[in-house]
Amino acid sequence: MKALRYILPLFIFITFTFSECEDDPKPILPVENNLRLDFSASVGTNDFSVDTEFLNEDSHPTKFETFKFYISRVTLVKADLTEIEVKDVALVDFKSNFSKKVRMNVPSGNYVAIKFGIGLDSVLNASDPATFPQSHPLGISQGTYWSWASQYKFAMFDGRVDTVGNLGSATDVLVSIHPGTNPLYRKIGGLQHTFTTNTTSTEVVNIDVDMFEIFNGDAGKVDITVDNQSHVTPSDKHIATRIMDNFVNAFSIE
Amino acid sequence: MRAIKRIIPLLFFIPFIYSSCQQNDEYVSELPQGFPELEIPEDNPMTNAKIELGKKLFFDTALSRDSTISCGSCHFMQNAMTDPKRFSIGIDNQAGTRNAMSLANVAYGTSFFRDGGVPTLEIQVITPIESTEEMDIPIVDVAKRLNQNAEYRKLFKKVFNDEVTPFGITRAISAYERTIISGNSPFDKYHFQGDDTALNDSEKRGMELFFSDKLNCSSCHTGFNFSNNTFQNNGLYVVYEDIGRMRIEMDSVNYGKFKVPTLRNIEVTAPYMHNGSLNTLEEVIEHYAKGGMHGKYQSELITGFDITDSEKQDLINFLKSLTDKDFITNPNFAP
């Protein structure tokens, strides 16, 4: 019995030692999120970042401290034009690189286009924010909830614009535009892009959103030196509506 | 084997003890006669411990940014859970723009606030806490603050088996608010409880007037809670400073519309109207007798009526018979 006491640990040790030396390929594990939408923003041909000054379409120095928006009902279109919804909701927040990336697991396959809504459909918009974990896009800590109306702000543009050549001074015109409410939900018809997803790697799709288009698109110009406040009241709803109508055409895949 | 024989009956007994403890904590509401059953949301069953926690939160000023304002700062028991001020004073001495509504029978509400913008009592809790004019603090920060408090941690653990969370705060306060029931006024005793002596002759004459086609009060102030839960432009102004329900619905049809309030305990809930602009019941009756200000969006139900002084007094006496003295002295609704 005494001999067994010494032999048994030795046996276990040898077994482990040999197994370490084996040259078997490591199993390929499924990747956690096999599709990522990386959002970036631009102002015409220049990059946009929050807290960074840029010249708006009228060459006024402008800076946004907050730029974030919901996308919802993210749907992939297959080559045979059948569609599959792959994510219910995400909040794209330009405050950090991490929060500009939307991660999701999708079925392996070949796809030809991506669709999503800007804002929240009426079902998501009726959510009770207190029922979600704080990190959830619809959680109360995201700062996107209008408790007085029990609805979410679909997008937030908060910042300042300068009209006298001194951005960052008391003469700045403050901008706070928060489109929301069910009638302002907009759907992107389909961003054409051919890509393939599998279970072992993450496919990255780069999507740009153009600020110029948002504030000066086909639906009309929003001059933020004048139309700079909209919280979707009857008197300022037209500003938020124009922003959302332009927003639809502001996305492109790089 | 002997030990097992002893343990097995004990194992059967323990679940019974546990389940009886659970049942004991279930809140059993004693609803007034004539009141419908409460509809309790599936995610917020009422227990005594939760209601007790909700009451503690309701009257705790820690739910405001500078710890000066609680829910109870604007809802007083003796005023049937309203505020006698025209506009309640929120944080930094800011005055609101609407008169605080009664919380009596708020459990039966189908929408909340004067404009009805909030669909559930649970979500309603968030609004005054986060309003910059009222308590002005993100509810997430309230949760963080209360998590520093050992007693709250213990209570939330007991009720929700969790730390202090926005979910728990909204559920506890709304569970407490569902206990704010008023239904034992002289009118209730007369109408629902069969006590023919509960109303005097003047009050009975006033009741007839109230429910008459001539005055038409009961077109809106109807049902056990004296409200049909609709929104009406009652002709207070031609041009409204506060557009009311239109802020929510965005259409001019809702211009100047506000929720029809309950008339229960109306004697102690002055001032009246959405903005507390009328101080007495006499003024209110005169407004309706005159037929409002005839604005474009005024309700067609407000047409005016002739009323004698004695009829007016009878009507006021009837309205005062809606005062539930048990309710406005109930210590459950005071800190």
Q: Would you say B103 and B181 are in contact if contact means Cβ atoms under 8 Å apart? A: no
Determine the Cα angle at A68 with ends A67 and A70, to 5°: 155
Domain end, chosen from B153, B181, B209, is at B181
Token couple for A204: 């990255």
Judge whether residue B51 has pLDDT over 60.
yes
Report the residue of chain B nearest A143, measured CA to CA.
B138
In a shared domain, residues B159 and B235: no
Query: Between chains, do A140 and B248 touch, taking CB under 8 Å as contact?
Result: no
Question: Which of A130, A141, A145 is opposite residue B170, by nearest beta carbon?
Answer: A130
* Beta-carbon separation of A147 and B127 below 8 A: yes
- What percentage of chain A reaches a pLDDT higher than 70? 89
Nearest CA in chain A to B118: A150
With an 8 Å Cβ cutoff, is A133 touching chain B? no
Could you tell me if residue B5 is inside a domain?
A: no
- Give the gap in angstroms from C-alpha A102 to the nearest C-alpha of chain B: 24
Q: Which of B114, B123, B134, B243 to mutate to test the interface with A (most CBs of A within 10 A)?
A: B123
Give the model's pLDDT for residue A57: 87
For residues A168 and A138, the model is more confident at A138
Please state, in angstroms and rounded to a whole number, the distance separating the CA atoms of residues A154 and B108: 31
- Note the residue count of chain A: 254
Residue A42 C-beta-side C-alpha neighbours within 13 Å: 14
pLDDT at residue B29 in the model? 85
State the nearest Cα–Cα gap between A121 and chain B, in angstroms: 17
Q: Taking the mean position of all CA atoms in its chain, how far away is CA B297?
A: 27
**Which residues touch A128 (CB under 8 Å, ≥6 apart)?**
B120, B122, B123, B170
Instruction: Check whether residue B142 and residue B168 sit in a common domain.
Output: yes
Q: Which two tokens stand for residue B118?
A: 């909030």
For A126, name the nearest residue in chain B, comparing CA atoms only.
B119
Cβ B247–A233 below 8 Å, yes or no? yes
What's the burial of A193, exposed, middle or buried (CB within 10 Å: 0-12/13-18/19+)? middle
Nearest by CB to residue A147, choosing from B130, B140, B171, is B130
C-beta neighbour count of B11 within 10 angstroms: 8
The total number of structural domains in chain B stands at: 2
Please tell me which of the candidates A129, A145, A150 has its beta carbon nearest to residue B117: A150
Q: In chain B, what residues touch A142 (CB-CB under 8 Å)?
A: none
Three-state DSSP class for residue A192: strand
Residue B15, pLDDT score: 47
Looking at chain B, the whole-number percentage of residues with pLDDT higher than 90 is 91
> Closest partner residue to B123 among A143, A147, A237, by Cβ?
A147
Domain co-membership, B212 together with B319 = yes
Domain encompassing residue B227: 186-329
Establish if A128 touches chain B: CB-CB under 8 angstroms: yes
Cβ contact A85:A35 at 8 Å: no
Q: Are residues B312 and B198 in the same domain?
A: yes
Q: Which of B119, B166, B250 sits opposite A130 (nearest CB)?
A: B166
Question: Which domain-ending residue is among B181, B209, B229?
Answer: B181
User: What pLDDT is recorded for position B3?
Assistant: 56
pLDDT of residue A104: 97
Is B4 a member of any domain? no
Place of tokens 């959405």: B274
In a domain, B79, yes or no: yes
**Together in a domain, B52 and B135:** yes
CB-CB neighbors (< 8 A) of A143 in chain B: 138
Q: What angle do CA B125, B96, B70 make, to 5 degrees?
A: 40
Section B222-234 average pLDDT: 97
Residue B247 lies in a domain: yes
Chain B touched by A200 (CB under 8 Å) = no
Instruction: Say which residues have a Cβ less than 8 Å from residue B203's Cβ, sequence separation at least 6.
Output: B186, B187, B314, B317, B318, B320, B321
Q: What is the residue whose two structure tokens read 């004693």?
A: B30
| Average confidence (pLDDT) over A6-20 | 51
Residue of B nearest to A140 (CA): B140
Burial of B41: CB neighbours in 10 Å, binned 0-12, 13-18, 19+? middle
Q: Do A130 and B139 touch (CB under 8 A)?
A: yes
Task: Quote the CA–CA distance of B104 and B263 in Å, as a whole number.
Answer: 10
Q: Which of B181, B209, B244 is the last residue of a domain?
A: B181
Residues B177 and B299 in one domain: no
Rounded average pLDDT over A57-68: 95
Band (pLDDT 50/70/90 cuts) for residue A254 is: confident
Predicted local confidence at residue B6, as pLDDT: 58
CATH number, position B96: 1.10.760.10
**Residue-wise burial string across B208-233, b where 16 or more C-beta atoms lie within 10 A, e elsewhere:** ebbeeeebbbbbbbbebbbbebbbbb
Least confident range from A19-28, A141-150, A203-212, B44-53: namely: A19-28
Q: Which of B130, B167, B250 sits opposite A237 (nearest CB)?
A: B250
Residues of A within 8 A of B63 (CB-CB) are none
- Rg over CA atoms, chain A: 25
B154 and B17 part of one domain = yes
Residue partners of B147: CB distance under 8 A and separation at least 6 = B153, B163, B164
Residue B124's pLDDT band, with cuts at 50, 70 and 90, is: very high
Which residue from A134, A149, A233 is facing B140, i.e. has the nearest CB? A134
C-alpha A88: how far from chain center: 12
Instruction: Say if residues B316 and B285 touch (Cβ distance below 8 Å).
Output: yes
Higher per-residue confidence, B19 vs B150: B150
Check CB contact under 8 Å for A234 and B123: no
Residues of B in contact with A182 (CB under 8 A): none
Cβ atoms B182, B225 nearer than 8 A: no
- The pairs formed by B43-49 with CB atoms below 8 angstroms and a separation of 24 or more are B43/A131, B43/B122, B43/B171, B44/B122, B44/B171, B44/B174, B44/B175, B46/B175, B46/B178, B46/B179, B47/B159, B47/B175, B49/B25, B49/B155, B49/B158, B49/B159
pLDDT at B16 over 50: no
| Peptide bond before residue B331 is cis, with ω within 30 degrees of 0 | no
How far off is chain B from A38, nearest CA to CA, in Å? 29
| Alpha carbon distance B278, B171 (integer Å) | 35
Contacts of B106 (CB under 8 A, 6+ apart): B112, B121, B177, B178, B180
Residues 218-237 of A with CB under 8 A from B: 232-234, 237
B139-149 pLDDT, tens digit each: 999 999 999 99
Would you state the structure tokens that stand for residue B19, as one six-digit string? 């389940």
**Which residues of B lie inside 8 Å of A (Cβ-Cβ)?**
43, 113, 117-120, 122-123, 126-127, 130-131, 138-140, 165-167, 169-171, 243, 246-248, 250
A217 φψ region: left (φ > 0), alpha (ψ -120 to 50), beta (else): beta
- CA distances from residue B72 to A24, B100, B166, B259, B330 in whole angstroms, order as listed: 69, 11, 19, 22, 14
Interface contact B166-A183, CB threshold 8 A: no
Q: Between chain A and chain B, how many beta carbons pairs sit less than 8 Å apart? A: 59
